[in-house]
């Protein structure tokens, strides 16, 4: 199918290292412009460091460098409109597939929106065996084709989910790869997904929204990143990036009756969420009619790269940054009176045995591909990978539909039996569903810091709770650099001085993020008593 308080400066040790590279590795320079162009396209780390040192040694004005980055050119794309299967090596050294679709209307001289699409069922043992087939049948891919957007499809699995370190790093790196090769509109990058892909949208909005203008969460659960990924997530962070969320009434996984309370909690915390409920089950077909609304929502929500107000909560520096503000230290002080925890309690009554079936198995029964680790009935009763479930209590189980029908007859707290074929014999296993229990959707095992920051007329005002240190990242579209920048905490001025643009900071930040809109020139680090 074809698709249509100090400014952070340059470390002396780095300069010495780069000077050595410059002297020993690279030929004479042809000018900073050519060196910069080569730097922007370099993949090799050593080559990049040497070119960076050479550009810095040549000493161009930062405004000229910024203008050249903003106006950088991109090559033509061969055979646009055709999904391209590629692979990438993730930070766990495992090679995984991804698919990129460039629209037929792509013009390398015009910035184009980018839609990142995350699939469901990300916890399975194996990565998808037919990534191209998945993309060709994906209605969000069809939406991107219709709208003329670039579409990017990462593929994850257990150990590289959308909410663990490996999977999250993979998504970030693939976005940067797309931005290096294509003229991506930095202010129109969106994330969308169904089921696990939707749950990921909530998680990324609460931990690292900087790349994104908006999120689309179709039938997801905003607590999955915390409950399954052990992320420290906070509902007030949903105020910084708009989210389009749906649930369906008869969803056997995340029904509206349960998810409604989590959405209302997040909205009360300030979350910018457009929420819709509708008839249907946990099936993309039941939210298909939302696709036109999704397109309108995304088109109306480009990124505000320099929002005048940021509200951000974090339990650690690893997820401390949002846009131009970053929390670098969390203290154990008493929280400020306005620092309230926003959470929601749900009743755990879902019937989960705790295994992954082999969906390619064509024989009678249900073949076990993976037994999930943890306190699940499957693990406790001795179910093994390779077992074939052929009976459940008094019911025969010829296929997965029959097993799901059986699951509808039992409740939390019930005892049950499974009959499995193992080594040519039938074996009866005895298990019990855990009793219903209340749980919060966000884990709370360490203190968090919360900041409310705003800027106007070269002044930043910050209210803090449990914040020991923070940074303000400086962009010339936010501040007049020929005047002093003032930072006040709780009304008390803690910084009042000029900001000197740092070319190395500008280049380092761009090479890390590949964001031509956010060409920050310095950062101001504030340590609080």
pLDDT at 14 exceeding the cut of 50: no
Same-domain status, 267 and 379? no
Residue 373: per-residue pLDDT: 84
Could you tell me the residue range of the domain that residue 110 belongs to?
84-303
User: Residue 2: which pLDDT band, with cuts at 50, 70 and 90?
Assistant: very low
- 428 burial (CB, 10 Å; 0-12 / 13-18 / 19+) is exposed
230 and 285 assigned to the same domain: yes
Q: Which residue has the tokens 């309370």?
A: 261
Q: Give the CATH number for residue 392.
A: 2.30.42.10
Residue 371 in this model has a pLDDT that exceeds 70: yes
Task: Render pLDDT for 156-200 as a digit per residue (tens, 0 to 9).
Answer: 999 999 999 999 999 999 999 999 999 999 999 999 999 999 999
When the pLDDT of each residue in the chain is averaged and rounded to a whole number, the result is 92
Same domain, residue pair 430 and 499: no
- The answer to whether 510 and 452 are in contact (CB under 8 A) is no
Domain count, the chain: 4
In the beta sheet, which residues pair with residue 114? 150, 189
**Shared domain check, 219 and 140:** yes
Give the max Cα distance, the chain.
Answer: 82
What single DSSP character describes residue 151?
E
In the three-class reduction of DSSP (H, G, I as helix; E, B as strand; rest coil), residue 390 is classed as strand
- How far is residue 156 from each of residues 53, 160, 191, 510, measured CA to CA in Å? 37, 5, 15, 27
The answer on 376 and 245 residing in a single domain is no
pLDDT for residue 367: 95
By CB atoms closer than 10 A (0-12, 13-18, 19+), residue 297 is middle
pLDDT in tens, 431-471: 999 888 888 999 999 999 999 999 999 999 999 999 999 99
Q: At 4, is the pLDDT very low, low, confident or very high (cuts 50, 70, 90)?
A: very low
Instruction: Give the domain-ending residue among 413, 437, 461.
Output: 437
175 and 270: one domain?
yes
Is it the case that residue 328 has pLDDT exceeding 80?
yes
pLDDT score recorded for residue 30: 61
Give the model's pLDDT for residue 123.
87
Give 185-194 pLDDT, tens digit per residue: 999 999 999 9
Which residues does residue 217 pair with via DSSP β-bridges, in sequence order? 193, 245
pTM: 0.86
pLDDT at 1 over 50: no
Please check whether residues 185 and 274 belong to one and the same domain: yes
Residue 266 exposure: Cα atoms within 13 Å on the Cβ side: 31
Domain annotation covers residue 310:
no
**Taken in order 322, 326, 332, 334, is the CA torsion positive or negative?**
negative
- pLDDT above 60: residue 5: no
Determine how many CB atoms are found less than 10 A away from the CB of residue 374. 9
Please compute the mean of the pLDDT values over residues 357-377 and round it to a whole number: 90
């Amino acid at each position: 199918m074809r698709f249509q308080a100090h400014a952070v400066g340059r470390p002396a040790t780095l300069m010495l290292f780069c000077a050595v590279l410059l002297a020993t590795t690279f030929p004479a320079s042809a000018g900073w412009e050519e060196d910069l162009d080569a730097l922007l396209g370099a993949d090799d780390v050593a080559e990049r460091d040497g070119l960076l040192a050479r550009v810095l040694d040549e000493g161009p004005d930062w405004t000229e460098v910024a203008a050249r980055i903003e106006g950088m050119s991109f090559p033509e794309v061969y055979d646009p409109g055709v999904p391209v299967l590629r692979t990438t090596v993730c930070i766990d050294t495992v090679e995984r597939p991804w698919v990129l679709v460039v629209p037929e209307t792509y013009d390398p001289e015009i910035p184009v929106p980018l839609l990142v699409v995350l699939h469901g069922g990300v916890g399975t043992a194996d990565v998808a065996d037919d990534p191209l087939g998945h993309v060709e049948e994906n209605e969000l891919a069809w939406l991107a084709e219709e709208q003329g957007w670039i579409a990017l499809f990462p593929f994850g699995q257990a150990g590289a989910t959308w909410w663990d370190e490996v999977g999250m790093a993979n998504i970030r790196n693939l976005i940067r790869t797309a931005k290096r090769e294509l003229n991506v509109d930095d202010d129109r990058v969106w994330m969308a997904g169904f089921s696990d892909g939707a749950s990921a949208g909530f998680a990324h909005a609460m931990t690292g929204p900087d790349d994104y203008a908006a999120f689309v969460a179709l039938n997801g659960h905003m607590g999955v990143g915390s409950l399954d990924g052990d992320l420290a997530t906070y509902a007030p962070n949903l105020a910084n990036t708009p989210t389009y969320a749906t649930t369906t009434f008869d969803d056997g996984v995340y029904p509206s009756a349960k998810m409604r309370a989590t959405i209302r909690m997040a909205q009360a915390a300030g979350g910018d969420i457009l929420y819709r409920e509708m008839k249907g089950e946990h099936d993309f077909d039941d939210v298909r009619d939302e696709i036109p609304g999704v397109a309108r929502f995304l088109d109306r929500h480009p990124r505000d790269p320099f929002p005048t107000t940021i509200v951000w909560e974090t339990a650690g520096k690893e997820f401390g940054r949002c846009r131009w503000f970053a929390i670098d230290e969390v203290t154990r002080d008493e929280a400020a009176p306005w620092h309230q925890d926003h959470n929601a309690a749900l009743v755990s009554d879902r019937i989960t045995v705790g295994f992954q079936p082999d969906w390619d198995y064509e024989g009678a029964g249900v073949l076990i591909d993976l037994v999930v680790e943890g306190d699940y009935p499957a693990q406790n009763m001795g179910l093994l990978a390779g077992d074939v479930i052929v009976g459940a209590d008094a019911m025969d189980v010829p296929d997965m539909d029959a097993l799901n029908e059986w699951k509808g007859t039992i409740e939390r707290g019930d005892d049950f039996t499974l009959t499995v074929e193992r080594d040519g014999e039938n074996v009866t296993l005895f298990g019990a569903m855990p009793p219903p229990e209340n749980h919060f959707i966000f884990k709370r095992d360490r203190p968090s810091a919360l900041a409310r920051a705003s800027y106007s007329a070269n002044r930043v005002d910050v209210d803090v709770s449990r914040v020991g240190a923070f940074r303000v990242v400086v962009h010339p579209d936010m501040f007049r650099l020929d005047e002093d920048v003032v930072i006040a905490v709780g009304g008390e001025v803690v910084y009042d001085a000029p900001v000197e643009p740092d070319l190395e900071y500008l280049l380092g930040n761009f090479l890390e993020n590949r964001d031509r809109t956010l060409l920050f020139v310095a950062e101001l680090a504030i340590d609080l008593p």
